[in-house]
Amino acid sequence: MKKLIALALVSATLAGCDDAPAPDAFSPEMASFSNEFDFDPLRGPVKDFSQTLMNEEDKVALRVAGTLSKEGCFDTLEFHDVENNTGASLVLNANFYLDAMTQEKRVKLQGKCQLAELSGTGLIYETNEKGFVVAARNNEAEIIYHYDSDGYPLGRTAKSKDKTLSVEATVSSDKRKKHDYTAETTLNDEVVGRANQSCRYDSHFNPLSCELVMTDLSVTPHKIQKFTIKNTISYY
């Protein structure tokens, strides 16, 4: 009798798992911005977030933060590369993102809040029928952006003159763990770098924290760097 009860409980549990709602897909804006600006995309009604990359000495190497409207448009987006002492802070104003300090126009938008043109570079973005940025071009370069069936950004391929630089990720087969991935960077078809990431997730299947290992294969001996990514996310 006890075995039958246990089997019934297991069956009920498994049935509950089957009926659980599927994770949200990634919006075209979130996926496209993260693909272009190199941060981890998030699912669901995100209100604001931060992603902080910590090196092995537990010091901040890179930080990205943003706020979004209820419609999923980025109201603000901020980058701070501590190691290279560079950064940018963008604020939405009508059909442009302005530099928060100088008020200069940095990014032109198409539609309500999708990338259209990067000011000063002549780089013009192209979208597909679903609204995802799939290409960008100017007189010197062409970039092709890749996504999976759920809209998760898998990387991009950039071509300029005699160079082709590509980053391509292979994600977990578990749709709830899209941020668990391996990625390769190639230069003119030669593998020059690898990355592996594994994460802890919240109830929206967004990463709370991740462990990232990056290997630079372009140098001898190969250089391995380990990072921890700490995220804060609030929702509407």
Class of domain 23-235: mainly beta
For the whole model, what pTM was predicted? Answer: 0.88
Residues of the chain with confidence (pLDDT) below 70:
1-20
Alpha-helical segments (H) within the chain: 2-19, 28-37
Report the pLDDT value the prediction gives residue 1, as an integer from 0 to 100.
Answer: 43
Report the pLDDT value the prediction gives residue 83, as an integer from 0 to 100.
Answer: 85
Q: Select from 180, 192, 170, 187 the least CA-distant residue to 229.
A: 180
Take residue 23 and report the two structure tokens written for it.
């994770």
Cα 199 to Cα 51: distance, rounded to the nearest angstrom? 13
